[in-house]
Structure 1
Amino acid sequence: MPQVHTVRGPIDTAELGRTYMHEHVFVLTADVQQNHPGEWGDEEERVADAVEKLRALAAQGVRTIADPTVIGLGRYIPRIQRIAEQVPELNIVVATGCYTYGDVPFFFHYRGPGLAAALGTELPDPMVDMFVGDIEDGIAGTGVRAAFLKCAIDHAGMTGGVERVMRAVAKAHRRTGAPVTVHTHPGSRTGLEVKRVLCDEEGVDPRRVVLGHSGDTTDADHLTELAEAGFILGMDRFGINLDTTFEARADIVVEMCRRGFAGQMVLSQDASCYIDWIDPDVLAFLPQWHYLHIDQEVLPYLRKHGVTEEQITTMLVEVPRRYFENTGAY
């Protein structure tokens, strides 16, 4: 039986069960948190709050979350280990990669390709070995191994930094076989840029790639083009209804199921126990943005509008399992 690495160790993919493919535990700005700890507050209270929220999620029957928190999002595995040990009924699968919409972090500016450009030569990108090490050896001496890769492209498009990270992710993927998830901006049709660089030029099979935040658009024809190319569509921001509506997010899933693409969609909320990117007062305008929203409100809506139980199981169980089973270096 194929296995996938979780925070508590490897499990058979059959044990993944109902899986939300894009949920964070914490999203943090590491420099701010380290230098202004009052913003974070009490560590024990934060951990206890996360445990309570994740237990409530598990009580709904969710068995796994894929947490794409990487460099640029404040990944800190020892804290996640503490939480995972207190919520054994929920599997947490973590990622490696780098999150940027523009330039690479300054750490990489004069290393690898950044230094090579200054010297007029070619050098390997240190990101590749870092990502591969997280997958094959574990993260920062914790023994926790990443099970997938994460990068991003947003409205700014394929900037030099975004392209560098994406190509490093592709190389790490080819060495390890770990699948990939990409933060995208479907309003700018950046999924087509992912196809060009990650797949057409770097050789990554689109069937091994989730295009995150595909549910941010209602353009079913564009999503059909991406699904027909083989990609998995991340309908994964349920509850974030500032520039869209609950109905729009749900209706595009209904339409894509009607078109026969339930087997190429995954569902999630992109929620977290705590995110320091947003003023807490703003969160009052997002009352549905939490871990329990899909089960409480989204699934009933989908059922009411013709999505079958078989299609729901496909999106929540079968597609995630296939994603994590479809591995192997090449």
Structure 2
Amino acid sequence: MTAVPTAGGVVDSADLGRTYMHEHIFTLTADVQQNFPEEWGDEETRVADAADKLKALAAQGVRTIVDPTVIGLGRYIPRIQRVAERVPELNIVVATGIYTYESVPHFFTHRGPAVGRPEPMVEMFVRDITEGISGTGVRAGMLKCAIDAQGMTAGVERVMRAVAQAHHRTGTPITVHTHPSSRTGLEVKRVLCDEEGVDPGRVVLGHSGDTTDCDHLAELADAGFVLGMDRFGINLETTFEARADTLVEMCRRGYAGSMVLSQDASCYIDWIEPELMALLPQWHYLHIADEVLPYVRERGVTEEQIETMLVGTPRRVFEG
């Protein structure tokens, strides 16, 4: 058993219950929000709306979500604390790290290795994990980095290696935004695991469900990674059936213990014109329980496999 920090305090890993390993609460462009606050609207209304949506999720039996909102995604922990206080029945694990597909943020360009000094990201991530985030007392329980279609750019590699070093110092698990159609999981293996020595069993390869290539997913699972089947409801370039059938096939092949589930949803995301959200009617917190699980049950996924993906494997990621 392992102590897992959350926005509401420390929880024993044995008490995490059903866990969605990749759900945002607010995904925001911080500079825009600070300088054009009319886009955000009323703070109290936003917080109350988030609390209502998360209460509905908790009513489905979900007890924990991991919110991998970090630098580059608008992380603001005081707001998350306010939401968490209104939904005490749901554990919210927050994250530290940097979200970039190419360069590091300009803050880091002329700091650290570029000028012959230690990597400042490592100390920042470790402080978030061991002391708390920006004076809130809320400690991060997950490390986050990203690699997308651009591949292992110098900036992506720098962040990934800093995440690996922070992991070794703290034991905190890692989630990586990946682009499976570009097979970027293999690049994660090379840098994070083969070169930096991170146990792949402590690494969630996010967005693995964006591909239907089950042979490739099996290759990553056989390497020891946890596959994030975590974008249910985002059905613009794929379909509900394609995502769900991939999950069914992976379970049929015996990989339920290598997968975790989520929707990568947000209470509010400013990346998308609000009217366009109508094109994604299934992209919300309740989609898995309402639609995905009934579909996969009908096609042979067992209750034991579902419990493994929602309870056993998330717990193992945190416990190591």
Q: Do they fold alike, i.e. is TM over 0.5?
A: yes
| From 121, 130, 144, the counterpart of 1:127 | 121
In 2: Cα distance, 1:247 partner to 1:223 partner:
17
The 5-angstrom pairing of residues 164-243 of structure 1 reads 164-243=158-237
**TM-score, normalised on structure 2?**
0.99
Q: Report the CA distance between 1:189 and its aligned residue.
A: 0.2
The 5-angstrom pairing of residues 71-110 of structure 1 reads 71-110=71-110
**TM-score, normalised on structure 1?**
0.96
SS at match of 1:38: helix
Letter of the aligned partner of 1:212 in structure 2?
G
In 2: Cα distance, 1:209 partner to 1:320 partner:
11
Which 5+ residue runs of structure 2 have no aligned equivalent? none
SS at match of 1:281: helix
Letter of the aligned partner of 1:183 in structure 2?
H
Q: Percent identity?
A: 78
| From 283, 288, 302, the counterpart of 1:289 | 283
Are positions 1:5 and 2:1 aligned together?
A: no
In 1: Cα distance, 2:97 partner to 2:254 partner:
32
Letter of the aligned partner of 1:68 in structure 2?
P
In 2: Cα distance, 1:228 partner to 1:184 partner:
17
What's the counterpart of residue 68 of structure 2? 68
What's the counterpart of residue 140 of structure 1? 134
In 2: Cα distance, 1:15 partner to 1:83 partner:
20
In 2: Cα distance, 1:175 partner to 1:205 partner:
13
What's the counterpart of residue 26 of structure 2? 26
Q: Report the CA distance between 1:191 and its aligned residue.
A: 0.2
What's the counterpart of residue 271 of structure 1? 265
Are positions 1:309 and 2:306 aligned together?
A: no
In 2: Cα distance, 1:274 partner to 1:148 partner:
21
In 2: Cα distance, 1:189 partner to 1:279 partner:
30
Q: Report the CA distance between 1:144 and its aligned residue.
A: 0.3
In 1: Cα distance, 2:50 partner to 2:102 partner:
31
In 2: Cα distance, 1:292 partner to 1:143 partner:
30
SS at match of 2:176: strand
Q: Report the CA distance between 1:275 and its aligned residue.
A: 0.3
In 1: Cα distance, 2:59 partner to 2:307 partner:
17
Q: Report the CA distance between 1:198 and its aligned residue.
A: 0.5
Q: Report the CA distance between 1:282 and its aligned residue.
A: 1.3
In 2: Cα distance, 1:60 partner to 1:304 partner:
19
Deviations 1:127-162 (A, max 9, x none): 000000000000001000001100000000001100
Letter of the aligned partner of 1:101 in structure 2?
Y
In 1: Cα distance, 2:219 partner to 2:136 partner:
41
Q: Report the CA distance between 1:15 and its aligned residue.
A: 1.1
What's the counterpart of residue 262 of structure 1? 256
In 1: Cα distance, 2:215 partner to 2:37 partner:
47
Say how many residue pairs are matched: 320
In 1: Cα distance, 2:9 partner to 2:55 partner:
19
What's the counterpart of residue 119 of structure 1? none
What's the counterpart of residue 158 of structure 1? 152
In 2: Cα distance, 1:312 partner to 1:55 partner:
22
RMSD over equivalenced CA pairs, Å: 0.6
In 1: Cα distance, 2:2 partner to 2:272 partner:
39
Letter of the aligned partner of 2:103 in structure 1?
D
Q: Report the CA distance between 1:197 and its aligned residue.
A: 0.5
Runs (4+) of structure 1 moved beyond 6 Å?
Answer: none
SS at match of 2:39: coil
Q: Report the CA distance between 1:123 and its aligned residue.
A: 1.8
In 1: Cα distance, 2:156 partner to 2:276 partner:
29
Letter of the aligned partner of 2:203 in structure 1?
V
